[in-house]
Chain A
């Protein structure tokens, strides 16, 4: 409940305040978005399953963002940045899709 409220507040704050994203950070924003979506849907799924744990939520989110950004950074240095970005997006994308499917089954029983 509080988390959902905080999520909405965060989105609104991000849109309204519109902080300028430094250039060096720009390539990592899409990856961070995918990782954030993964964390949000994972958390929601866990909540519906009754095993939500705030610490796991925060730590897995932060770790996923950092690891994903690091992989992309490393890929950029090695010249395979776009391929590794694809890898990150595929892995997190499958997780998002699976979690959303589980949430859908939970809510609609279908």
Chain B
């Protein structure tokens, strides 16, 4: 390695002798060195040195070094092989876990819906009958009626999530609400007043539940006016221009009598069990949920 003698400025205080005493190990610019000769400079230096170790010793060095290097390569090959099998089995186990968790979630949801229905009936029996309109709007009860079905999907051969954004779907759903829809499901998930439609990667999450393409949106409402009103909304306009410009699939059909399921029981954030000093209540008490950070 040549000394490039970095500092060219003459320094009067430094004598030639001082320069000799200051032995440095200068390194040329790392990147230049890297792109120049990749061979370890040690080989050239060793070749330039007159004294070399004996042949027997050199062979021993080389053999030991090569043995270790080969051993590392062999072990790495083995480990990579073993990891590939391990990764596959881990993937399968994770998939099984996800399936189990989803089934458990569905069961819990069904039982929550059944319990919410019980609570509703108990309330009604105790004279605290709910407001039907509010219950429909809140998604607490299943709704049957004539419906409008909207089916959206990406152009054929494309992934829906890559083309259609959550805000497009939100606009479409808001259009249905403004057209007079009384109850809406998106991908089979009944919307509540607090429902969210969000995008996570290429997937659309409705109330944190993944829904699948083609996305089917069903809205129950007046059979005579809803379709016409919906055609005048900006959501409809956006999707019809998507359909003509980008070949996005967008279909609107009238359906006959359709029953939309109730949404899972409400998640209470601010509701509390009434204190004992207030009027004695026969309502079944719901456990208070831990407050969760919103958003």
Instruction: List A residues at the B interface (Cβ < 8 Å).
Output: 2-16, 18-19, 21, 26, 29-30, 32-33, 36-37, 39-40, 42-43, 45-46, 49-62, 65, 91, 94-99, 102
Contacts and interface: CB of A to CB of B under 8 A. Distances in A.
B78 interface: yes
Given A46-B39, A102-B39, A11 B46 contact: no
Most buried by A among B38, B42, B44, B45: B38
Nearest to A18: B78
22 contacts: A3-B59, A5-B63, A7-B70, A10-B68, A13-B67, A18-B75, A18-B78, A29-B72, A33-B73, A33-B76, A36-B70, A46-B43, A51-B44, A53-B47, A56-B42, A56-B43, A56-B45, A56-B46, A58-B61, A58-B62, A58-B65, A95-B38
Given A97-B38, A102-B38, A57 B70 contact: no
Contacts, number: 159
A21 B65 CA distance: 20
Contact of B77 (A15, A46, A96): A15
B178 to A, nearest CB: 49
Contact of A6 (B39, B67, B78): B67
Given A3-B66, A10-B70, A61-B68, A29 B42 contact: no
A54 B78 CA distance: 28
Contact of B75 (A19, A59, A91, A97): A19
Contact of B63 (A3, A11, A99): A3
Contacts of B62: 2-3, 6, 43, 52, 54, 57-58
Contacts of A52: 43, 62
B133 interface: no
Contacts of B46: 51, 53, 55-56
B22 interface: no
A39 B64 CA distance: 13
A40 to B, nearest CB: 5
A39 B68 CA distance: 11
Given A7-B67, A36-B69, A53 B77 contact: no
Interface residues of B, number: 38
Nearest to B83: A26
Nearest to A97: B38
A31 to B, nearest CB: 10
Nearest to A61: B65
| Shortest beta-carbon contacts, A-B, top 5 | A14-B74, A10-B70, A98-B38, A54-B61, A51-B47
Contacts of B115: none
A50 B67 CA distance: 21
B6 interface: no
B38 A6 contact: no
Contacts of B79: 21, 26, 29
Given A29-B79, A54-B58, A42 B40 contact: yes
A13 B59 CA distance: 20
A2 B42 CA distance: 21
B21 interface: no
Contacts of A32: 72, 76
B85 to A, nearest CB: 13
Contact of A56 (B40, B57, B59, B72): B40
